[in-house]
Amino acid sequence: MKPILLTVTLCVMLGPSALLRAESPMSTLVGRITYPGPIESGQVVAVTRDSSFCGTTTAIHTVTVNAKTRGLQGAVVSIDDNTVPAADFPRRPLVLTNTRCAFSPRIVAGEVGQQLEIRNDDPVMHNTHISMGPRTFVNVAMIPASRPVEKPLKQPGIYLVQCDAHKFMRATMVAFTHPFFSVTDDTGAFQIAQLTPGEHLVTVWHDTLGTFQQRVTIPARGEVTITIEYPAHVDANKK
């Protein structure tokens, strides 16, 4: 097939929007958040109910660092000054699961307007109690094998997630007014797509370590890779 004919065929097949997307100068930021501090073993607390399933003790990890990559798990990376309309941004389902007497993931991030789906995979009852300051976002009973509960995110901010039945169960939910955020995985890696070229302010937030910001220059097209080391002196209470 001749090149021109191939191009025309592709134009007809993909449509003009695909070509526009291909032409639009947007980039992806990929990277890793590392933490130079000590790797903690977790605070061991006693489990006072449902011990036959939850165990008699559990370890609470507030700072989880990958020994191989030094990557910090559960850091929320966001770019708040991106200007691209995000209507067609691929959004991941927002799911918070009670599993093995813990919340998974321990850090969950979503966009205002998204539905949060709460699940219970455990054979014991939990209640999922999410609040921001004195305002309850939701407090629902989750009996074993119950159907998922859905709740739309309405307000941006940082929410505390807890189970009143199992006090050691804690998590954090962060809600944004845009989709340009990512939560680092167990190697500390993250990825944020559809960024406009130019200088952006990257904000990294961790529920124990606090906030850290760094400027990054995004090229016209393609992918830029960065590594941000979380300074050990960051104020833990700074949001």
**Backbone phi, psi, residue 123, to 5°:** -85, 10
Instruction: Please select the residue that binds other proteins; options are 91, 100, 167, 238, rule is CB under 8 A.
Output: 167
Site for other proteins in 97-136 (CB under 8 A): 125, 127-131, 133-136
Q: In angstroms, give the least distance from the CB of 143 to other proteins.
A: 6
The CA–CA distances, whole Å, from 158 to 17, 99, 103, 136, 188 equal 36, 22, 16, 12, 20
CB 29 within 8 A of CB 37: no
- Residue placing its CB nearer to other proteins in the complex, 21 or 167: 167
> Which residue has 């990257």 as its token pair?
202
**Does 239 engage in binding with other proteins (CB under 8 A)?**
no
Q: In angstroms, give the least distance from the CB of 56 to other proteins.
A: 16
Q: In angstroms, give the least distance from the CB of 102 to other proteins.
A: 18
CB 126 within 8 A of CB 163: yes
Q: In angstroms, give the least distance from the CB of 120 to other proteins.
A: 10
Q: In angstroms, give the least distance from the CB of 45 to other proteins.
A: 13
Q: In what order do the strands lie in the sheet with 189-195?
A: 189-195, 27-34, 222-229
* Torsion angle (degrees, nearest 10) of CA 93, 95, 100, 106: 100
Peptide bond into 105 cis (omega under 30): yes
Q: Three-state SS for 12?
A: helix
Beta bridge partners of 174: 109, 158
**Does 45 engage in binding with other proteins (CB under 8 A)?**
no
Q: Which amino acid is at 37?
A: G
- Residue placing its CB nearer to other proteins in the complex, 41 or 56: 56
Q: In angstroms, give the least distance from the CB of 91 to other proteins.
A: 21
Instruction: Please select the residue that binds other proteins; options are 61, 151, 170, 178, rule is CB under 8 A.
Output: 151
**Contact region with other proteins (CB under 8 A), list: 26-34, 80-88, 91-99, 149-157:** 149-157
Instruction: Please select the residue that binds other proteins; options are 14, 45, 59, 143, rule is CB under 8 A.
Output: 143
Binding site for other proteins (CB under 8 A): 48-49, 125, 127-131, 133-141, 143, 146-147, 149, 151, 154, 164-165, 167
